[in-house]
Structure 1
Amino acid sequence: MMDIGTFIFQIFWMLFVLSMFVPFLRSFNLKGTRMAMIRDLENKRKSRVITLIHRQEAMSFFGLKMNRFIDIEDSEEVLRAIKMTPDDMPIDFIIHTPGGLVLAAEQIARALKNHKGKVTVFVPHYAMSGGTLIALSADEIVMDENAVLGPLDPQIGQYPAASILSVLERKDKNSIDDETMILADISKKAIEQMKKFVRELLVEKMDEEKAEELANKLCTGTWTHDYPITIEEAQELGLKVNSNMPEEIYSLMNLYKQTEQRRPSVQYIPLPYRKSEKNND
């Protein structure tokens, strides 16, 4: 006959094993829901839908957090998806990212630019730095009314390239150390390379003079790197931007919410309200 201690131990062990599998099952179900929603959007728009969404995520069972950025693995997957898309099929690219590796962002942007079908980039919340570079490759950019893009000024280590170059203008070269001079040389090259690529993305969408002016504004440190470029400012800059965001994209973004913490910092009743309902209260 089983004693009470052994019984409690077995129950504890079963609960432990179950707790290990629950996250896997939950993740599997969530991925399936996302894919079904992407498929519905593709059927509705007759397009290939590709998402590039970076959120803070929990790792395994330890509750550790990791921040995601655009990397080479992202560019490999996106290039693979574009390769599998017929030339005449439109691509809808949904992006939500703080930016990331320049090489990876450029690869994605170039592949989208070279796609013969129409490319639409959707920005439901924000696409900063490398995300903005990808958005510039599109035939059309669709932003939420409160979404933002960002500047494209290169960063060298922890410093903006434009700020490093400004040291050469403010100080006598004989009083500048060798490391700063080396960083300034790298900064100059990085800015010129970025300007050249941005011009290539823009020249088919506007005249050369306007493309040159906009590339210079975006890449040379006009603003801080985290400056938010709103939809109104993007339109003033000459970008083809509108706010015709499909409701399905908002629903899809709800499936990428960050892992809940013990004390959530934002709470609300997750239901859409009609104006008449609030007036009747």
Structure 2
Amino acid sequence: MPNWNEVIAEIHQTRQLHPDHNPLDLVRRKYLKQVSEITGRNTIAYYSGWLQKPTARDTAVNDKDKSGLMLTIHRLDKSKGLDLILHTPGGDIAATESLVDYLYSMFGKNIRVIVPQISMSAGTMIALSSSEIIMGKHSNLGPIDPQMGGLACQAVINEFKQAKEDIRKNPHAAALWQVIISKYHPTFLGACQQAIEWSEKMVSKWLEENMCADDTSIVENILKTFADHKKQKSHARHISKRECEEIGLKIGSLEDNQDLQDAVLTTHHAFMHTFSHTASVKIIENHNGVAYVENSVPQPPQPQ
């Protein structure tokens, strides 16, 4: 398997051999095609450049991504199913629900998710909608507890509960809690509760109807692992392949197929190099080289 530096060397060599073409595209698509040839399935890479461009817009899952999926799914043989290579920080819950519903309408439940490095938050929700998640020893998923304005919804609810209990025990604490709770607008608590119920109901349904259809009794424990803020402590926590296996998720190991592992990880390196050396912040691309690309928009200079 070409390592990180060897992929860079191949990109430079490709530039010399094909000066009229973008070498990043040629190398990336070469290995993405290999993934599909090895599995015999449709392959779409759904990649965000948030690691390279943490302040850029449109790196998160959003409604514009539907256009990318529509473009890359068009003309594919749907009977071959889909392997979705996923690398994302997550994003909007409503967009996530819509994207999964669309994928189901195209491929039924014949969808696998491959996680070369990390798929967090709403990305984890997409992974949990699949029939199987293929991970390496280095791969991670993340908690799915909803966030609002950078705040964990469950943490907000817990804070309100603590305030009520403290004030009940010591009415003089009300003044202190007033300062803390006043940072939330009047409907914020209800919105947090609804977001939690929405996300858990959505993921529970996907698990029961697809990955866990043969044993729905494990769904509750899976949700507890991924959705319980008290258990995970932080929305940024990285959940390992081993822990995913222990709670009953259907996890395939990249290490079980050396050819597939080589193709997937080299594809991953090629995407990372693309984000590092171009203005791209999101790429949705299929094994035939059809791609939807979002580029970062330069920000106007700010007054000093």
The correspondence of residues 1-281 of structure 1 with structure 2, limited to 5 A, is 28-56=22-50, 66=56, 68-82=59-73, 84-114=75-105, 115-116=107-108, 118-172=110-164, 175=178, 176-177=181-182, 179-204=184-209, 205-206=211-212, 207-221=215-229, 222-223=231-232, 224-244=234-254, 246=260, 247-258=262-273, 259=276
Q: CA deviation at 1:119?
A: 1.6
Deviations 1:71-98 (A, max 9, x none): 2222321244345433321211111111
Which blocks of at least 5 consecutive residues in structure 2 are unaligned? 1-18, 168-173, 278-304
Classify 1:169/1:26 alpha carbon distance in 2 versus 1 (closer, same or farther; 3 Å).
farther
- Give, in whole Å, the separation in 1 of the partners of 2:47 and 2:196: 27
- Give, in whole Å, the separation in 1 of the partners of 2:52 and 2:142: 27
- Give, in whole Å, the separation in 2 of the partners of 1:73 and 1:26: 30
Deviations 1:160-204 (A, max 9, x none): 000110122111388554835421110000000001101111113
Contact 1:128 1:150 in 2 (8 A): yes
Partner of residue 286, structure 2: none
Over aligned residue pairs, what C-alpha RMSD do you find? 2.8
Partner of residue 8, structure 2: none
Secondary structure of 1:95 counterpart:
strand
Classify 1:217/1:42 alpha carbon distance in 2 versus 1 (closer, same or farther; 3 Å).
closer
- Give, in whole Å, the separation in 2 of the partners of 1:139 and 1:73: 25
Classify 1:27/1:130 alpha carbon distance in 2 versus 1 (closer, same or farther; 3 Å).
farther
Q: Which amino acid aligns with 1:66?
A: A
Contact 2:121 2:143 in 1 (8 A): yes
- Give, in whole Å, the separation in 2 of the partners of 1:26 and 1:234: 45
Partner of residue 300, structure 2: none
Contact 1:112 1:138 in 2 (8 A): no
Q: Which amino acid aligns with 1:89?
A: K
Deviations 1:199-239 (A, max 9, x none): 11111333444223422442241311011110010011111
Q: CA deviation at 1:139?
A: 1.2
- Give, in whole Å, the separation in 2 of the partners of 1:152 and 1:192: 12
Q: CA deviation at 1:26?
A: 8.7
Classify 1:106/1:147 alpha carbon distance in 2 versus 1 (closer, same or farther; 3 Å).
same
Secondary structure of 1:93 counterpart:
strand
Classify 1:179/1:78 alpha carbon distance in 2 versus 1 (closer, same or farther; 3 Å).
same
Deviations 1:89-130 (A, max 9, x none): 121111111112222222223333442363221111111111
Q: TM-score, normalised by structure 1?
A: 0.73
Contact 2:135 2:254 in 1 (8 A): yes
Classify 1:177/1:105 alpha carbon distance in 2 versus 1 (closer, same or farther; 3 Å).
same
Contact 1:75 1:105 in 2 (8 A): no
Q: Which amino acid aligns with 2:118?
A: Y
Contact 1:91 1:120 in 2 (8 A): yes
Which blocks of at least 5 consecutive residues in structure 1 are unaligned? 1-24, 261-281
Aligned identity (percent) is: 23
Secondary structure of 1:66 counterpart:
coil
Question: Between Structure 1 and Structure 2, how many residues are aligned?
Answer: 232
Classify 1:58/1:166 alpha carbon distance in 2 versus 1 (closer, same or farther; 3 Å).
closer
